[in-house]
Structure 1
Amino acid sequence: MELKVLIVDDDPQIAEIHHHFIQKIDGFSVCGIAESLDDAEKMSLLLKPDLILLDLYFPEGLGTDILWNLRVRQQATDVILITAAKELEPLQNAMRGGVFDYILKPVMFPRFRESLQSFREHRLRMSAESTLNQRQIDQLLHPYKNSSPGEPEYPKGIDPLTLKKISDVFAEPLPGGLSAEEVGQRIGASRTTARRYLEYLTAGGQLQAELIYGAVGRPERKYFPS
């Protein structure tokens, strides 16, 4: 699954930096860049992006106008607000509008990558199940909330639903093992995401990993059930 991103920023240099960042993250593509609120409104209607990276301040108004317009027409587009505004009021307004994340400028790539990867995993979780139990709902609404008593605690970046999907892949015999890319294809995730979970399972002893040397090219890391 590749997610479409619309970049909305009136500074062309910042927009290009964000474009460059997105190109370095698996599972995303830029469908457009808007430098004004009017262009952003038209492009969001026409392109139907999965995600908008939205600046807050524009000469003609506030980026949150786009956010509220999306909510009014119930468009299935999420928003990450990227702004230099450190005041509490813009954050409160953005939270009321249901932004997925709020990132302060200047944006550092690790924080940017973490936000987009979390968004991708959120979309995958939302599409994986048709019905949910309370624990799954809590995980969607409060991803950083501590586990309930008696439930295992997972480190940041490890979602139990995705972890189970990957564990289930290895429930069947796999004599030749699977690479991170192959596992990602099976569960609909990026190679980077799959590798993070695979290494977590390997560190915990549920999987084992070996370097497989082919006839040509570099060795490939394959994962096997323990």
Structure 2
Amino acid sequence: MIEVLVVEDDPRVARINAAYVAKVPGFRTVGAAASVAAALAFVEEVAVDLVLLDQYLPDGTGLDLVRRLRERGRHTDVIMVTAARDLATVQAAMRLGALQYLVKPFDFAGLRAKLEGYAALRRSLAGGGEAEQAEVDRIFGTLATAAAPVGLPKGHSPTTAELVRQVLLTAGGDVSAQEIAERAGLSRQTAQRYLKLLERTGRVRLSLRYGETGRPEHRYVWVPTGA
């Protein structure tokens, strides 16, 4: 069983998240903590494989908790589960080693996809030994692929697709290909290529915005699962 700690200061949300975890085979919630201090104390006493981590806590932030865990030599895996949509937080979470980032509100299917991707990653790493480049690429793409709606065509990177997806999720509305490219650190051509792919699979909705020149601007918005 994969042991999960839910770090969330809203008791109702913590109960919902724990209930979601219980519905995914192979996972079990071993505790809940409502603050950075409580989470640190829990991890010192109980073996935890994965932390589902909110960013907004009464005595600090979720990222503060990750930093302090790393300072103490704790390399517990982390999936951010938060309403924080700003790209600075998303980027900081990536740099601190968060394996996934799930934006509130979300449904059970959204969390299940993250957990199943995490379980697949653990299975990939369980054997130890060495890996060829193809195996390394597959491991790095495991979590991103789990969140993608379909398999990616040849020549498309799961990591890049996930980066575009995260920008769309945190945009708070429709955005242009140029805006996505700038926020994701990609070329405009690359952003457009992935946006067209996601549009074809139904995960992105395209709309046209007409300006003074009469030439419409393409705007993109992420389509939630089940929408």
Secondary structure of 1:142 counterpart: helix
Q: What is the CA distance between 1:58 and its match in structure 2? A: 1.2
1:91 equivalent in alignment to 2:87: no
Cα deviation code 1:77-121 (max 9, x no counterpart): 100011111111110110110101100111211010000000011
1:100 matched residue in structure 2? 99
Q: What is the CA distance between 1:26 and its match in structure 2? A: 0.2
Task: Please give the alpha-carbon distance, in whole angstroms, between the structure 1 residues aligned to 2:44 and 2:107.
Answer: 29
Moved runs in structure 1, 4+ residues, more than 6 A?
A: none
Is contact 1:9-1:36 (8 Å) kept?
yes
Secondary structure of 1:53 counterpart: strand
Count of matched residue positions in the alignment of Structure 1 and Structure 2: 150
Cα deviation code 1:2-61 (max 9, x no counterpart): 100000000000000001101111001111110111100111122131000000011221
2:134 matched residue in structure 1? 135
Note the aligned Cα RMSD (angstroms).
Answer: 2.1
Q: What is the CA distance between 1:132 and its match in structure 2? A: 1.2
With normalisation by structure 2, the TM-score equals 0.62
2:171 matched residue in structure 1? none
Q: What is the CA distance between 1:148 and its match in structure 2? A: 6.7
Runs of 5+ in structure 2 lacking a partner?
A: 146-151, 156-227
Secondary structure of 2:4 counterpart: strand
Q: Matches of residues 159-178 of structure 1 in structure 2 within 5 Å?
A: none
Secondary structure of 2:9 counterpart: coil
How many percent of aligned residue pairs carry the same amino acid? 34
2:79 matched residue in structure 1? 80
Q: Which has the higher helix share?
A: 2
Runs of 5+ in structure 1 lacking a partner?
A: 150-226
With normalisation by structure 1, the TM-score equals 0.62
